[in-house]
Amino acid sequence: MRHGWTLVAGIAMTIALAQAQAEFRGFWVDGFNEGFHTPEQVDALLQRVRTAQMNAVIVQMRKRGDAHYLSPLEPFATQQQSGFDALAYLIQKAHGETPRIEVHVWVNCHPIWPGSGWPNDPKHILNRYPEIQTEDYDGNRITEVGYGGDWGHPLYHEWFTKVVLDIVRRYAIDGIHFDYIRYTGERWGYNPTSVARFNRRYGRMGKPDPTDPLWKQWRRDQVSAVVRKIYAQATALKPRLVVSGALITWGDGPQTSDDWVNRSAYRAVFQDWQGWLKEGILDMAIPMVYYDESNPSRAAFFRNWATFLKDHQHGRIGVVGIGNYLNSIENTLKQVEFARAPSPAGNRVSGVNFFSYAATTGVGTEEGSRRYDEAFYRALGDYFGGWVPTPPMAWKLAPTAGHLMGTVLDARTLTPVDGATVEVYREGSLVRTLTTDGNGFFAAVHLPAGVYALIARADGLPARSIGAVWVTAGLGVNLPVLLGEAEAQPVRRIESLAALPDGAPVLLLNTVVAADWLQPDALLQVRNALGEATVAVRVDAPALPLLQGDRVAVLGMLRKGADGALVIEQARVHWLGAL
């Protein structure tokens, strides 16, 4: 017992010492300007980063439904040198040279194509699934940032999650960074599927008014659901991965804690980043506090937002996003100085991040900024004086909690149950009440390690109880939950299929995709989660592309060939997450 206490105390002391010396210092590096389109640009980027004494880059690998890395799901970015995997090369150089630079992948979430045209590549999501677009109250589809995906459509919700988890799984990144994780205004979010889901949930008809409080909360919940889903699954894959976001400020900062709900982020674009910090589904908040220091009222806005962040981090990490593109070098350093100073209450943030690497200095607009001003990088280096590590996160270095997540499915059809209630109990006491999203997913993050029980309920289906679910500190447990009586034979091991008769309906839950499945007319190969035995599946109902290592549930009819080969025909497949 004494030894365990000493170990915990030692970890706590190490974290405390590291926190006293550490600070996040980074650049947002966009994909529209030069930065990582060629190896030479990456080399120049890292040289400037080290000159400026930065310790991180946040690089925009997804702009508008494209990829600056080699994605099996989305088309290659047109600005990128042909075949050049910017992310792989950047990680190699940033991690392999001294000092080490963290690589956080910036993904544009909502925007998927400019409004001035339409993508030519059939691989683009707008050509694959045009039905996922958001609409405004009047049916218009071109937002202020072009075409956008709607968070209330389960297909876009799942597609975006798969894109992010693919990056997390295949690349040795330090973090994932959300931008445009919101809607563009309170008149947006009227995708017909989302409206229909809302009406079913609340017994409504027609289009809700844009200012309807329940409808506003619905859209807020759809955005929070995708953040929660990615956080739970991504940190289960890589427990030390940092999940962060470029977050809305707009206008003056909140005057009090209660004033948060009156700010544009919460009220107008449905981005409740304060709620995300409280729940722990965001590790690092980077509000975009972009204000011109030479304008007294805007300078006051900057100070009010920075102070609000210092005092409202909710046990997570706050970093002030500084709009150097609006400011002279001198005024940028004034804002850095204020950002790093304690609030009147004595609270500090954990660093600064600059927008942007390319648009270094200027007055008024990004278009008027000077590009790649070497004096800017040198001035930052002189100001900071030396490299420091990024701040440690105790909940990752010495975790005491884990994540419990899963998917609620109708056992008869394998369709997800939207809006099911999942109650989480510990030692007979209710500790969380969760609601499934449009894909049937639920998650309780940062549950203290221990044994839990679940009860899942949904209208028209019998409740299901699951006991003895173990949650381990620093890890995630992900389980399917079936409601109703399955008409198919549940099969735990693929080897057991051989004993079943030809034509038997079968249900596989503990299976993993054995090889990428990108063509819907091809046979899908799945294997046991533990073991190498595989079986071919002919997918009948439409499904998103599946990648090697994806966890899936399969419902179909077993067919035996004359040569003894097994195929599951007329199959429905539901994605359960990444392994």
CATH number of the structural domain spanning residue 419: 2.60.40.10
Out of 483, 518, 551, a domain closes at 483
CA–CA distance, 130 with 134 (Å, rounded to integer): 10
- Cα–Cα distance between 136 and 190 in angstroms, integer? 5
pLDDT digit string, tens, across residues 399-457:
999 999 999 999 999 999 999 999 999 999 999 999 999 999 999 999 999 999 999 99
pLDDT for residue 6 = 47
Q: Is the same domain home to 161 and 269?
A: yes
Give the pLDDT of residue 364: 60
Q: Is the pLDDT of residue 289 over 80?
A: yes
**Percentage of the chain lying above the pLDDT 70 cut:** 96
Task: Report the number of distinct structural domains present in the chain.
Answer: 3
Q: Select from 438, 466, 483 the last residue of a domain.
A: 483
pLDDT higher than 90, residue 1 = no
Look up the domain containing 100 and give its range.
2-395
- Say what the pLDDT of residue 15 is: 46
CA dist list (Å): 322 to 52, 70, 292, 303, 400: 15, 31, 10, 11, 34
- pLDDT of 7: 43
Q: Kindly state the tokens that stand for 454.
A: 């679940």
Average pLDDT (8-28) is 67
Peptide linkage before 480 cis (omega within 30 of 0): no
Do 178 and 300 lie in one domain? The reply is yes
Q: What's the confidence (pLDDT) of residue 532?
A: 87
Q: Are residues 469 and 335 in the same domain?
A: no
405 lies in the same domain as 380: no
Instruction: Show which of 483, 511, 530 is a domain's final residue.
Output: 483
What share of the chain in percent tops pLDDT 90? 92
pLDDT band at 366 (very low <50, low <70, confident <90, very high): low
Rounded Cα distance between 336 and 353, Å, is: 9
Mean pLDDT computed over 480-493 = 93
325-355: per-residue pLDDT in tens? 999 999 999 999 999 999 999 999 999 999 9
Look at the chain and count its residues. Answer: 579
Which residue reads 């722990």 in tokens?
Answer: 280
Tens-place pLDDT, residues 101-137: 999 999 999 999 999 999 999 999 999 999 999 999 9
Q: Indicate whether 377 pLDDT > 90.
A: yes
Average pLDDT over residues 284-304: 97
pLDDT tens-digit series, residues 497-539: 999 999 999 999 989 999 999 998 999 999 999 888 999 999 9
The answer for residues whose C-beta is within 8 angstroms of residue 171's C-beta and 6 or more apart is 69, 87, 88, 91, 105
- Asked if 65 and 191 sit in the same domain, the reply is yes
Contacts of 348 (CB under 8 A, 6+ apart): 310, 340, 341, 342
Looking at the predicted structure, is the pLDDT value of residue 51 above 70?
yes
Helix axes 374-384, 39-51, angle to 10 degrees: 40
- To the question of pTM greater than 0.85 for the whole model, the response is yes
Does one domain contain both 222 and 310? yes
Q: Are residues 440 and 571 in the same domain?
A: no
**Do the Cβ atoms of 520 and 539 come closer than 8 Å?**
yes
* Average pLDDT of the chain to the nearest whole number: 94
Q: Across residues 371-399, what is the average pLDDT?
A: 97
Same domain, 276 and 322: yes
**Which regions of 372-475 does DSSP assign to beta strands (E)?**
401-410, 421-426, 429-435, 441-448, 450-458, 461-471
Residue 141: is its pLDDT beyond 50? yes
One domain, residues 340 and 356: yes
* CATH number where 554 lies: 2.40.50.200
Identify whether residues 329 and 472 lie together within a single domain: no
Contacts of 62 (CB under 8 A, 6+ apart): 68, 74, 106, 107, 108, 163
- Mean pLDDT over 36-55 rounds to 98
125 and 13 in a common domain: yes
At 231, which CATH number?
3.20.20.80
Q: What is the pLDDT of residues 57-93, one digit of tens each?
A: 999 999 999 999 999 999 999 999 999 999 999 999 9
pLDDT at 362: 86
Residues 234 and 378 grouped into a single domain: yes
